[in-house]
């Protein structure tokens, strides 16, 4: 089945074999119970021991959450999925799972979400994990760093935050496998509609469910989708640590995913046309967008992404803008929401220097190419003319 069909059907219409009657709900209900009972204790024993499928305790499993995990596994072509309380918790669980039986060393892209960099350098490094960074878009440099550092895990983003760089995911997966390293890919910006990292050889595909998949600005959640080799350890870590997503948020995410393909297609279309308009605006110095033929990773983009689907993110630099100039621009916006997220049905604009990359030192941000005038727009599903009209009046 195609991704669009999986989004609508996977994970739903499960009949409880222990319940009376033969009814099947058309969509997965919200199960709020923390404890599940059986007619005989022997069956409970088998369920607790994972000898038989079933539900016993909310930290281990929940029918609503399980439905969502089945859906996400299908969307990402994985072996199993574990949903978590946030995207950052999902990355944390995936890193722990990747490093459990490997050298405690991480080779990470030098272009990552700020909180991911903070997790690596301020949480894992003090615990004894060696962390090194590399230009993930320089395949030769990646190969050399792997040989030198012998990492247990390689961390990258399918499409980097915020400058939309795209590394050779499939080739890096081959290098990782040859070196015995796990490859962890944050696929939030791409979504399974554009790229499915496990199909390209990644071991972990991680998402912030808060963004495109839930899509309505009312859920905080994350997911780790794994290959078969890492499924058991990821599940064990989750059962032990308890970073689980609640049933109501699981339901909202599952409900949001049913329309995610429609939303993302519209957002991609809007973003492409907004990027073209911004490129002609006298107050805009530079536009970063994946459809640009002069994008530094154009060849990789053509190889990995479907034609016409280049994502909803449009970072752009306001010409000669200081922090105060950017604030004035943002304060004039009337339709576009000034928010610290992305992927919602409404257009969102974020200032990386005070939000996604706030914890990164100013000099390091400059080295990363994040200027004081850079803002990150995520196109929503509104009428294109209304989005452009609001940006235009705010830029004047």
Question: Active-site residue numbers?
Answer: 59, 113, 186, 211
A 10 A CB-CB count for 29 gives 13
Asked if 268 and 309 count as a contact pair (C-beta separation under 8 A), the reply is yes
315 CB neighbour count, 10 Å cutoff: 23
Tell me which residue of 150, 198, 199 sits closest to 175, measured CA to CA.
150
Give exposure, 246-273, as e/b (b: 16+ Cβ within 10 Å). Answer: bbebbbbbbbbbebbbebbbbbbbbbbb
CA atoms within 13 Å, Cβ hemisphere of 117: 19
DSSP per-residue string spanning 328-339: HHHHH-SSSEE-
Q: What share of the chain is helix, strand, coil (3-state, %, to 5)?
A: 40, 15, 45
Distance CA 90, CA 88 (A): 5
Is there a contact between 116 and 94 (Cβ–Cβ < 8 Å)?
A: no
Residue 195: count of CB within 10 angstroms of its CB:
24
CA quadruple 268, 272, 277, 282: dihedral sign: positive
């Amino acid at each position: 089945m195609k991704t669009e069909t999986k989004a609508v059907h996977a994970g739903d219409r499960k009949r409880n074999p222990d319940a009376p009657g033969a009814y099947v709900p058309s969509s997965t209900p919200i199960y709020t119970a923390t404890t599940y009972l059986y007619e005989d204790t022997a069956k409970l024993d088998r369920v607790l021991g994972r000898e038989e499928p079933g539900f016993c305790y909310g930290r281990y499993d929940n029918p609503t959450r399980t439905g969502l995990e089945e859906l996400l596994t299908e969307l990402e072509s994985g072996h199993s999925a574990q949903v978590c309380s946030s995207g950052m918790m999902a990355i944390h669980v995936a890193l722990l799972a990747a490093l459990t039986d490997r050298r405690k060393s991480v080779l990470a892209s030098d272009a990552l979400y700020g909180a991911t960099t903070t997790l690596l350098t301020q949480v894992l490094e003090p615990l004894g994990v060696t962390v090194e960074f590399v230009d993930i878009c320089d395949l030769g440099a990646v190969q050399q760093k792997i040989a030198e550092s012998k990492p247990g895990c390689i961390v990258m983003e399918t499409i980097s935050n915020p400058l939309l760089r795209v590394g050779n995911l499939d080739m890096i997966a081959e290098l990782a496998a040859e070196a015995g390293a796990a490859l962890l890919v944050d696929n939030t910006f791409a979504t399974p509609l554009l790229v499915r990292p496990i199909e390209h050889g990644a071991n972990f595909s991680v998402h912030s469910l808060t963004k495109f998949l839930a899509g309505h600005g009312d859920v905080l959640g994350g997911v780790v989708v794994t290959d078969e080799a890492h499924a058991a350890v990821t599940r064990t870590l989750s059962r032990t640590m308890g970073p689980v997503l609640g049933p109501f948020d699981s339901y909202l995410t599952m409900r949001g995913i049913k329309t995610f393909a429609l939303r993302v297609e519209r957002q991609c279309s809007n973003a492409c046309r907004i990027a073209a308009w911004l490129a002609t605006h006298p107050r805009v110095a530079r536009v970063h967008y994946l459809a640009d033929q002069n994008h530094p990773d154009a060849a990789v983009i053509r190889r990995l992404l479907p034609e016409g689907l280049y994502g909803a993110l449009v970072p752009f630099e306001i010409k000669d803008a200081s922090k105060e100039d950017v604030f004035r621009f943002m304060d004039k916006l009337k339709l576009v929401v000034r928010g610290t997220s992305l992927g919602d049905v409404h257009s969102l604009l974020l200032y990386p220097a005070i939000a996604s990359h706030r914890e990164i030192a100013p000099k390091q941000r400059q080295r990363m190419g994040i200027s004081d005038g850079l803002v990150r727009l995520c196109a929503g599903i509104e009428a294109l003319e209304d989005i452009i009209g609001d940006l235009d009046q705010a830029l004047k």
